[in-house]
């Protein structure tokens, strides 16, 4: 099996490395990721300027790795349209994102955007995300099991799989909740701190506030707030 791994946090991200190490257990791995941080890019692609694709010495043995001076979706385009044109991947793994991609915030996600780009180009995809922080114990324990389970299912042609890990210890994790729905509200919400700018302008500072007290039953956010791994599907708007 051949797997393309990308992300939106950049080629040097810790979450990307963990997905690459997991993917190696399934076959040949190619890493094509943004040269810099590209969160909240959704499925944005670069037009009217060139992209630079640069080979990288990746810290996981036996994988081919490239950085791209563009968005997560650009990375998928560069992989499928150039780097892997004659050896297309069987799957695309996107992530692991630093922070949940759940609820309506999915719409902004570069991690999900890259997976959707792969799907639109005929490659089934899984997006992986973990709660912000440095606790990957639950993700490391369950990620390969979940990936194997999903890859054994009938390949989705109009949807991607979206997997979120609660970022808790394994002892605190309450298992996996499968086929969750998307929470019909944002997980993060805009609550700005302000500063006075020049010439009467105002500077808005994102305080990165999130909800801890909501979540409908059997949704991605509800599962995560109860320390469960959330696995669900996201439908493409165009397929």
pTM for this predicted structure = 0.93
Domain boundary assignment for the chain: 2-183+213-235
What rounded mean pLDDT belongs to the chain?
A: 93
| Sign of the C-alpha dihedral computed for residues 167, 116, 33 and 150 taken in this order | positive
Domain 2-183+213-235 has CATH 3.40.1210.10: yes
Task: Tokens for 46, please give them.
Answer: 């670069």
Interval 108-118: pLDDT, tens? 999 999 999 99
Ramachandran quadrant class, 179 (left: phi over 0; alpha: psi -120 to 50; beta: rest): left
Interval 196-208: pLDDT, tens? 999 999 998 876 6
Task: Tokens for 205, please give them.
Answer: 């500072």
Task: Tokens for 27, please give them.
Answer: 């076959």
């Amino acid at each position: 099996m051949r797997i393309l791994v990308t992300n939106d946090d950049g080629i040097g991200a810790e979450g990307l490395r963990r997905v690459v190490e997991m993917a190696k257990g399934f076959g040949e791995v190619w890493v094509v990721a943004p040269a810099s941080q590209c969160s909240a890019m959704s499925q944005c692609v670069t037009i009217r300027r060139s992209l630079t694709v640069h080979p990288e010495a990746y810290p996981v043995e036996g994988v081919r790795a490239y950085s791209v001076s563009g968005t997560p979706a650009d990375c998928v385009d560069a992989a499928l349209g150039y780097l892997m044109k004659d050896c297309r991947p069987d799957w695309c793994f996107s992530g692991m994102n630093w922070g949940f991609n759940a609820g309506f915030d999915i719409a902004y996600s570069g991690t999900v955007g890259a997976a959707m780009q792969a799907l639109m180009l005929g490659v089934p995809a899984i997006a992986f995300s973990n709660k912000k922080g440095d606790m990957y114990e639950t993700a490391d324990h369950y990620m390969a099991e979940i990936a194997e389970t999903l890859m054994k299912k009938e390949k989705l042609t109009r949807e991607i799989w979206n997997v979120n890990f609660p970022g808790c210890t394994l002892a605190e994790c309450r298992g996996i909740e499968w086929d969750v729905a998307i929470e019909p509200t944002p997980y993060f919400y805009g609550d700005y701190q302000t500063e006075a700018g020049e010439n009467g302008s105002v500077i808005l500072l994102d305080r990165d506030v999130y909800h801890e007290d909501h979540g409908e039953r059997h949704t991605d956010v509800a599962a995560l707030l109860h320390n469960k791994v959330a696995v669900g599907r996201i439908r493409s708007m165009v397929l």
